C-alpha cells in the first residue's frame, strides 16, 4: 500500500497517543507524537507535517478548551496551510464552532469511532494537498504575471547566422540539456529562451525568469529559494522562491554573469542536488527544473580571472547559443523595423505607412549599440513623432555618435584588426569549433590555431 501523509499527534495522555499511533501507522506515511505542546514550534519547523491532531486541554482539572485554541493559533502561524483537527472528551458545540472559526477543520470527541476518524484524516490530507497546490499556484501566478508584462518579439530573421540559431533552438528544445545564451544587451536572449521553452515538452508548465543583475546579496536566497515567516525582519509570511515556482517547467536565469562567487556557489549546490532549502527552514524541497541561463559577459574569461566558477559554467552550458549583434544581421534591420512599424501603428492607431528611403538607409547604417531593443524603441518613438504617413530621418532621432560607425570602423582598422575580427566572428558562428571555423575562413586548422595565439584569442 502506498502510504501518504505525515501526522503529528499532541496529547498528554500516553494511552490515547499509543491508541492513535497503533491505529494510524498502517494508514499513513509517518505518525509522530508529542506529550506536551511546548515543543510544537521546534517539532513543526524540523519536520514536514500535513495534519496535526491536537488535544484541547493539557493542564490537570482544566477543560475549557482554551489551551487547545491557543495552540491552534500558534500552529497556524507556523504553517497556515497545515490541517489541524482538535480532540476533546467534552462535546461542547459552541467550542467546536469557535475552533473551526479559528482555523481547525474538524472536531473529534473521545472516545472516537475509528472509521469516522480515518475518513476525517483522509479528507484532511486531501485538503492539505489542495492548500499546498493553491499556495504554489498563487506564487507561480505572481511570477507569471510579471513575466507576461515583458514583451518578447517573434523570431524574425533572414540572415544565415540566425537561421542556424533557429535550427539549434529546434534541436535543444527536444532535450533537457542546460542552455547558455550569450550576446550583447538587447540581442533577444530572453526571446530565444522563451522560444526554446515554447517548443519544449514543458511548454504547458511555467517559465519563470529571474533577472540576476537586479538581485542584491541580501535578497538572493529569499527570491530564489523562498523563505519562512519570521526568518528575517521583513518576512511577514511564507514565500515560495523562483526555483520552486519553476519546478516542472523552465527556470531562466538572465544575466547570470552578474552573480558574486558566494551566490554562484548556492546556485551550483541547488543545481547539483536538485533541491532547495528556504531561508529559515531546515527542510529541503526537491525541484525539477529545466535551466536556461543568459549573459552578455565572457564567462570563460571570467573563469580565467577567477570571478566565475568553472564548475558552474560546465553545469549551465551543455549547449551554448551565441546571438549576433543586430549590426551583423544585414537585411534583418529592415525586416524588424517594418515589423515594429506594423505593431506600433496598430497600437497607436497611426496613419504612418512606411519609411522614407533615406530613413531606411540611416537605420541600416546605424551601429545599434542597444540592438533589437533599441530598434524597437526607436520605431515606437518615430511612429509617435511622425507628422505624415512616411517616417523620415528626423523622426528616428538616432544618436549621431553611432551613425555610420560600422563604415568608419572599417576605414580605420588595420589588416590585423580585420583578420582578428574575422576569426572571432567565425569562431562565434561555429560555437568555438576550430575545424568548422577554419573551413569557413578557407584556412587550415593549424593556421587558425596559430592566428589565435598571435592575437590572444
Q: Which helix H or strand E contains 198, and what residues bound it?
A: helix 189-199
State which of 322, 338, 363 marks the end of a domain. 322
Confidence of residue 359 (pLDDT cuts 50, 70, 90): very high
Average pLDDT, the chain: 86
Find cell 517539532 and name the residue: 43
Mean pLDDT of 24-40: 89
Instruction: List CB contacts of 122: < 8 A, sequence separation 6 or more.
Output: none
Residue finishing a domain among 287, 322, 357: 322
Confidence band for 234, pLDDT divided at 50, 70 and 90: confident
DSSP string, 378-419: HHHHHHHH--SSEE-HHHH---GGGTTHHHHHHHH--HHHHH
Q: Are residues 313 and 165 in the same domain?
A: yes
Whether residue 343 contacts residue 351, with contact meaning beta carbons closer than 8 Å, is answered with no
Please give the pLDDT value at position 426: 82
pLDDT at res. 91: 60
Q: Is the pLDDT of residue 350 over 90?
A: yes
Would residue 137 count as lying in a domain?
no
Same structural domain for residues 29 and 156? Answer: no
38-45 average pLDDT score: 87
Assess if residue 408 is contained within a domain: no
Q: Are 240 and 139 in contact (CB under 8 A)?
A: yes
Asked if residue 339 and residue 318 are part of one domain, the reply reads no
Look at 51-55, 112-116, 127-131, 136-140 and tell me which has the smallest mean pLDDT: 136-140
CA angle 449, 453, 455 (to 5 degrees): 115
Q: Mark whether 106 and 218 lie in a shared domain.
A: no
Residue 139 lies in a domain: no
> Phi/psi at 286 (nearest 5 deg)?
-70, 145
Q: How far apart are CA 379 and CA 237, in angstroms?
A: 44
| Residues 11 and 82 placed together within one structural domain of the fold | yes
Please give the average per-residue pLDDT across 301-324, as a whole number.
Answer: 95
**pLDDT surpasses 50 at 151:** no
**Spatial separation of the C-alpha atoms in residues 448 and 436, rounded to whole Å:** 11
> 180-225, pLDDT tens digit by residue?
999 999 999 999 999 999 999 999 888 999 999 888 888 899 999 9
Q: Are residues 29 and 91 in the same domain?
A: yes
In a domain, 136, yes or no: no
Q: What is the pLDDT of residue 170?
A: 92
* CATH classification at residue 434: 1.10.10.60
Tens of pLDDT, residues 415-432: 777 888 888 888 888 777
Contact between 268 and 293 (Cβ < 8 Å):
no
Domain interval for residue 331? 326-402
- 111 and 243 share a domain? no
Question: Residue 147 above 70 pLDDT?
Answer: no
Residues 249, 214 share a domain: yes
| Percent of the chain predicted with pLDDT > 90 | 48
- Judge whether 379 lies within some domain: yes
Q: Are residues 172 and 253 in the same domain?
A: yes
Q: Is the pLDDT of residue 146 over 60?
A: no
Lowest-confidence segment of 77-81, 164-168, 310-314 by average pLDDT = 77-81
Confidence class of residue 144 from pLDDT cuts 50, 70 and 90? Answer: low
The residue ranking higher by pLDDT, 280 or 150, is 280
Q: Which of 402, 427, 444 is the last residue of a domain?
A: 402
Note the pTM of the prediction, 2 decimals.
0.60
- Least Cα distance to 120 among 112, 130, 131, 132 occurs for 112
Calculate mean pLDDT across residues 309-327: 95
Residue 274 belongs to some domain of the structure: yes
| CATH code assigned at 127 | 3.40.50.2300
Instruction: State the pLDDT at residue 321.
Output: 96
What CATH code is carried by the domain that includes residue 348? 1.10.8.60
| Residues 279 and 335 reside in one and the same domain | no
pLDDT at residue 2 is higher than 70:
no
Q: What is the CATH number of the domain that holds 159?
A: 3.40.50.300
Is residue 223 located within the same domain as residue 336? no
- In this predicted structure, the answer to whether residue 451 has a pLDDT above a threshold of 90 is no
Residue pair 164/320 in contact by the 8 Å Cβ criterion: no
Same domain, 44 and 171: no
How high is the pLDDT of residue 61? 60
Instruction: Look at residue 224 and tell me if it is in a domain.
Output: yes
Query: Model confidence at 149, in pLDDT bands (50, 70, 90)?
Result: very low
What is the structure's pLDDT at 408? 41
CA 403 – CA 382 distance, rounded (Å): 17
Q: Model confidence at 63, in pLDDT bands (50, 70, 90)? A: low
Task: Give the number of domains in the chain.
Answer: 4
Q: Is residue 144 part of a domain?
A: no
pLDDT at 411 (0 to 100): 45
Q: What is the pLDDT of residue 68?
A: 84
* pLDDT above 70 coverage of the chain, percent: 91
Amino acid at each position: 500500500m502506498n502510504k501518504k501523509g505525515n501526522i503529528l499527534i499532541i496529547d498528554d495522555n500516553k494511552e490515547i497517543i499509543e491508541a492513535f499511533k497503533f491505529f494510524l501507522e498502517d494508514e499513513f506515511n509517518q505518525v509522530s507524537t508529542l506529550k506536551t505542546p511546548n515543543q510544537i514550534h521546534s517539532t513543526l519547523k524540523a519536520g514536514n507535517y500535513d495534519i496535526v491532531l491536537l488535544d484541547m486541554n493539557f493542564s490537570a482539572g482544566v477543560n475549557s478548551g482554551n489551551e487547545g485554541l491557543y495552540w491552534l493559533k500558534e500552529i497556524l502561524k507556523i504553517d497556515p496551510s497545515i490541517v489541524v483537527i482538535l480532540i476533546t472528551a467534552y462535546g461542547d458545540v459552541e467550542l467546536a464552532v469557535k475552533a473551526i472559526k479559528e482555523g481547525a477543520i474538524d472536531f473529534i470527541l473521545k472516545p472516537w469511532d475509528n472509521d469516522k476518524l480515518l475518513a476525517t484524516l483522509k479528507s484532511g490530507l486531501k485538503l492539505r494537498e489542495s492548500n499546498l497546490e493553491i499556495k504554489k499556484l498563487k506564487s507561480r501566478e505572481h511570477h507569471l504575471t510579471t513575466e507576461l508584462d515583458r514583451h518578447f518579439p517573434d523570431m524574425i530573421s533572414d540572415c544565415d547566422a540566425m537561421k542556424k540559431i533557429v535550427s539549434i533552438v529546434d534541436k535543444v528544445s527536444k532535450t533537457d540539456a542546460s542552455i547558455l545564451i550569450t550576446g550583447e544587451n538587447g540581442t533577444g536572449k530572453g526571446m530565444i529562451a522563451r522560444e526554446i521553452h515554447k517548443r519544449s515538452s514543458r511548454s504547458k508548465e511555467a517559465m519563470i525568469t529571474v533577472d540576476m543583475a537586479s538581485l542584491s546579496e541580501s535578497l538572493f536566497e529569499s527570491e530564489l529559494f523562498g523563505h519562512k515567516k519570521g526568518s528575517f525582519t521583513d518576512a511577514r509570511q511564507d514565500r515560495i522562491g523562483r526555483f520552486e515556482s519553476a519546478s516542472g517547467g523552465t527556470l531562466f536565469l538572465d544575466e547570470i554573469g552578474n552573480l558574486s562567487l558566494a551566490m554562484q556557489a548556492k546556485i551550483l549546490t541547488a543545481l547539483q542536488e536538485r533541491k532547495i532549502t528556504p531561508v529559515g527552514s531546515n527542510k529541503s524541497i526537491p525541484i525539477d527544473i529545466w535551466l536556461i541561463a543568459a549573459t552578455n559577459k565572457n564567462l570563460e574569461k571570467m573563469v580565467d580571472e577567477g570571478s566565475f566558477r568553472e564548475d558552474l559554467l560546465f553545469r549551465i552550458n551543455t549547449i551554448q547559443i551565441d546571438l549576433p549583434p543586430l549590426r551583423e544581421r544585414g537585411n534583418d534591420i529592415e525586416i524588424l523595423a517594418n515589423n515594429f512599424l506594423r505593431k506600433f501603428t496598430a497600437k497607436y492607431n497611426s496613419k504612418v505607412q512606411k519609411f522614407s528611403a533615406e530613413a531606411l538607409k540611416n537605420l541600416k547604417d546605424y551601429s545599434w549599440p542597444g540592438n533589437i531593443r533599441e530598434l524597437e524603441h526607436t520605431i515606437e518613438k518615430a511612429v509617435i513623432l511622425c507628422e505624415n504617413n512616411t517616417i523620415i530621418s528626423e523622426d528616428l532621432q538616432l544618436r549621431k555618435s553611432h551613425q555610420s560607425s560600422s563604415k568608419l570602423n572599417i576605414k580605420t582598422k588595420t589588416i590585423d584588426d580585420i583578420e582578428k575580427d574575422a576569426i572571432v566572428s567565425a569562431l562565434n558562428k561555429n560555437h568555438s569549433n576550430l575545424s568548422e571555423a577554419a573551413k569557413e575562413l578557407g584556412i587550415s586548422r593549424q593556421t587558425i590555431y596559430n592566428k589565435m595565439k598571435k592575437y590572444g584569442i
